[in-house]
Chain A
Amino acid sequence: MEIVVLVKRVPDSEAQVQVKPDGSGVTVEERYGMNFFDSLAVEEALRIKEKFGGRVTAISLGPSQSVEVLRTAIAMGVDDAILLEEEALLGGDEYATARALAAAVKTLPYDLVLCGREAFDDSSGVVGPVVAQFLGIPSVTMVTKVEVEPEQRKVKVEREAEGGRELIEAPLPALLTAQKGLNEPRVPPVMGVVKAMKAQIKKLDLGSLGLGPEEVGQKGAKLEVLRYIEPPKRRAVKYIKGEPPEMVKELIELLKTEAKAL
């Protein structure tokens, strides 16, 4: 089984995010790591490899610091890592990003492409299925269980769906996006961390992806970012004091008259 995993460097959920006063961007506190859902994808790829053999390659598109999440993937047990960090590739929307990632996947043999259900920063969940379309392979999102049948060239998956779950069979190659519950990602072993520090991270530029600068990054994007905005602030909390019976009465009164929520 040849497996490609797409991973993204994203801010920690606790990181401070500030919208710049002129709305031109955001300032994010330096607390980054591998996107949680992507770590589930890496873990699943490793488990499949441990069962059936093969190679796992992680690919990341992002600024040069994204090398950190590729090293994390290697420390977990991934065999190879590819970084797409060229300036022209950055700043695009999900569509442009997917186009570049798909081109990188195409440089490799693959039976399965895995990624997280969505990235923490934009929470779109778009890149995976769009990569699948560029590759001409089926995609299944929100996967919580994966059973590969390499002999039959197929994979059976469970996905979370409205009001329950769906059991789906896909031919290989296919793209799957990982949802919570798929597995518990491993903590990289010390030996892995040592190996990751020394590992060579391959870099692919536009030329080797076979793409032009107008097809990727901001130029290749289908969306134009106009401005960043502070989220609306909830008014300050009103504490309701007293003994429980009075509290409850006052709360009901406020919900009725002030909040008009009853």
Chain B
Amino acid sequence: MAGIWVYAEHHDGKLKKVTFELLGKGRELAQGRGEELGAILLGKDLDPLAEELSPYADRVHCLESPMLEVYNCDAFLEALSSFSAERNPSMIMAGATYQARDLFPALAGRLQKGIVVDCLGVELADGGRFLLRKPIYGGKALVEVAFKEEPQLVLVRPRTFPPAEPRSERAEVSKEQVEIDPTKVRLKVLEVMKTTGEKVDITEADVIVCGGRGLKDPENFKLLEELAEVLGGVVGATRAVVDAGWRPQEDQVGKSGKTVSPNLYFAVGLSGAVHHVMGMDTSKVVVAINRDPMAPIFQYADYGLVADLFQVVPLLAEELKKELGK
């Protein structure tokens, strides 16, 4: 049996955090089914990444080709679909990231298999069947589904599972130089534009300080930046302030932006519109700061401060700095 695979997504030589979260869950599932846990890497010169994955998987599959150096849906699809069709894993898990959400639905179509996107739970039921849980209607309900066939393609929301612990055993690394028919690669990636620099993506952040129109002026986001910095977090934004051009699109939390699941979420000066809540309601702990006691965000918070953010936020940053010894 080819086992359970985790798609090890990487950018600029760094593995995505969600890869390790999935390797943790993957280990549990693989053990439960008596299967091998594999990590699958696509790219060029993958040795350092394979080495990094080694303590977490039984086997690391490296699919190498100069055509896989930069992500191109067509090229990745060719490599991954032929390799999976050959090896027939029972499941391939990936994070529900931009890249996987571009690649895996196409893979499902190519392999003529099912796919579950934005999973919040994967369990092994009696009889060795996987039960997948995902939100629908923006999280107002959950649905539990099972696959009729394998391989099962599953995209999991980042930060749903804790990261795996490294083991003393090392994985076997199998390297394949893959041949990709250039005529099958119809897409051309002309340019990759990095706009966020070294900043942690909000979907991977432990702490998010999110601001809305209550900040009154783009300049005032400095207050949130300061609080986020003390906590090692990042700043998010609502649709309203992104649309107003105060904050970049990539920082938008909500239905038309990103879905986040941090350990600690500060909702500052934002009302908590439904489309916002949909993007953050799996956050572990939520603190809402808003002057309006009727703001819906309080219904989605663990701790509510009905207060002036301009008084509370700087104080909070200052006190936390002392508290955390920074």
Contact = CB atoms under 8 A, between A and B. Distances in A.
A181 interface: yes
A95 B142 contact: no
A244 B312 contact: yes
B249 A125 contact: no
Contacts of B323: 252, 256, 262
Interface string A222-237: 1111111111001101
Contacts of A167: 189-193
B163 interface: no
Interface string B30-41: 000000000000
A211 interface: no
B49 to A, nearest CB: 16
Given A161-B99, A238-B304, A255-B285, A244 B149 contact: no
Given A167-B191, A247-B312, A229 B116 contact: no
A94 B302 contact: no
Interface stretch (A66-74, A83-91, A129-137, A185-193): A129-137
A169 B190 contact: yes
Interface centre among B102, B118, B196 (most CB of A within 10 A): B102
B87 interface: no
B264 interface: yes
A96 B300 CA distance: 35
Interface stretch (B106-114, B174-182, B217-225): B106-114
Contact of B114 (A26, A95, A169, A226): A95
B305 interface: yes
A141 B102 contact: yes
A248 B147 contact: no
B307 A123 contact: no
A144 to B, nearest CB: 8
Given A167-B190, A225-B145, A259-B302, A162 B201 contact: yes
B17 interface: no
A133 B110 contact: yes
Nearest to A235: B302
A140 interface: yes
Contact of A28 (B71, B117, B137, B255): B137
Given A11-B137, A95-B108, A125-B101, 10 more contacts: A13-B138, A26-B137, A123-B138, A132-B106, A163-B194, A222-B114, A230-B142, A231-B142, A251-B303, A252-B320
Which 6 pairs from chain A and chain B are nearest by CB?
A222-B114, A133-B109, A130-B109, A129-B105, A17-B140, A167-B191
Interface of A: 11, 13-17, 19, 26, 28, 36-37, 93-95, 98, 120-134, 138-142, 156, 159-171, 174, 179-181, 221-231, 234-235, 237-241, 244-245, 247-249, 251-252, 254-256, 259, 261-262
24 contacts: A95-B109, A95-B113, A126-B108, A126-B115, A129-B102, A130-B109, A138-B74, A139-B102, A140-B187, A142-B98, A163-B250, A165-B193, A169-B190, A221-B114, A223-B114, A223-B147, A226-B144, A230-B141, A231-B141, A244-B312, A259-B264, A259-B303, A262-B323, A262-B324
